[in-house]
C-alpha cells in the first residue's frame, strides 16, 4: 500500500482540480454556441451588495455546494437572487435569502432564457451559468468604467461562487 506524502497528495489534488475545471468550461452542453446571450435588463439597478454577516446563516460545506431549491434559506439563496436579478424583467426579485415562489419563478425564467432545464433548482449547470454571466457583467462594467457596477459584481464574485453549485 502506498503512503502519500503531503506534497504528493497536494499535487494530485491540484491536478484533479485543474482537470475538473478544464472539463467544466462548457458544462451547459452548448459547446460554446447555442442561443445568443440576453443582455442584462436595462431596468435592473443593483441593490447594495452585503457580504455575509452575523445575521446570515452561512453553511460551511465540505466539497461542492448542494443544489439550491425552494425552501432553502440563507446567504447562498441571496447569492442566487443577486446573481439572476440582472437578467430578470423589471427590478427582478427581492433579495431576502428565502427561496420561495418568487425566487423559484425567477430561477425558471433565467433557466429558460439560457436554454437550461427550467426546473427552478440551482444545480451545477445553472450555477456555472450564473457565475459566467456575472463574470461577463463585471468585465463589461470594467470596460465601461462603471465603478458602482464593478464594485457590485466584484463583491458577488468574491463572496458567492463558493456558495452556489458549479
Q: Which domain holds residue 139?
A: 63-166
Q: Which of 56, 60, 154 has the alpha carbon at shortest distance from 97?
A: 56
CA distance 36 to 54: 40
Asked if 93 contacts 52 with a C-beta cutoff of 8 angstroms, the reply is no
Report if residue 35 sits inside a domain: no
Task: Report pLDDT for 64.
Answer: 65
Task: Report pLDDT for 9.
Answer: 46
Report if residue 165 sits inside a domain: yes
Within 13 Å and on the Cβ side, how many CA atoms surround 17?
8
Q: Which of 68, 66, 95, 107 has the alpha carbon at shortest distance from 155?
A: 95
Task: Report pLDDT for 25.
Answer: 39
- Average pLDDT of the chain is 77
Residue in the block written with cell 443593483: 46
Report if residue 93 sits inside a domain: yes
Report if residue 29 sits inside a domain: no
CA distance 122 to 107: 7
The segments of the chain whose pLDDT lies below 50 read 1-38, 41-42, 54-61
Report if residue 9 sits inside a domain: no
Quick one: CA torsion of 30, 36, 37, 41, rounded to 10 degrees?
A: -150
Task: Report pLDDT for 53.
Answer: 54
Amino acid at each position: 500500500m502506498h503512503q502519500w506524502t503531503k506534497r504528493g497528495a497536494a499535487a494530485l489534488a491540484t491536478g484533479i482540480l485543474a482537470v475538473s475545471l478544464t472539463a467544466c468550461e462548457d458544462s451547459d452542453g452548448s459547446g460554446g454556441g447555442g442561443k445568443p446571450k440576453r443582455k442584462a435588463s436595462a431596468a435592473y439597478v443593483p441593490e447594495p451588495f452585503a457580504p455575509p454577516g452575523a445575521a446570515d446563516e452561512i453553511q460551511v460545506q465540505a466539497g461542492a455546494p448542494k443544489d439550491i431549491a425552494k425552501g432553502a434559506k440563507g446567504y447562498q439563496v441571496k447569492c442566487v437572487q443577486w446573481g439572476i436579478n440582472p437578467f430578470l424583467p423589471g427590478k427582478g426579485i427581492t433579495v431576502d435569502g428565502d427561496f420561495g415562489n418568487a425566487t423559484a419563478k425567477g430561477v425558471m425564467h433565467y433557466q429558460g432564457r439560457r436554454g437550461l432545464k427550467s426546473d427552478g433548482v440551482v444545480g451545477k449547470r445553472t450555477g456555472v451559468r450564473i457565475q459566467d454571466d456575472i463574470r461577463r457583467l463585471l468585465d463589461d462594467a470594467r470596460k465601461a468604467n462603471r465603478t458602482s457596477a464593478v464594485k457590485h459584481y466584484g463583491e458577488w464574485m468574491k463572496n458567492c461562487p463558493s456558495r452556489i453549485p458549479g
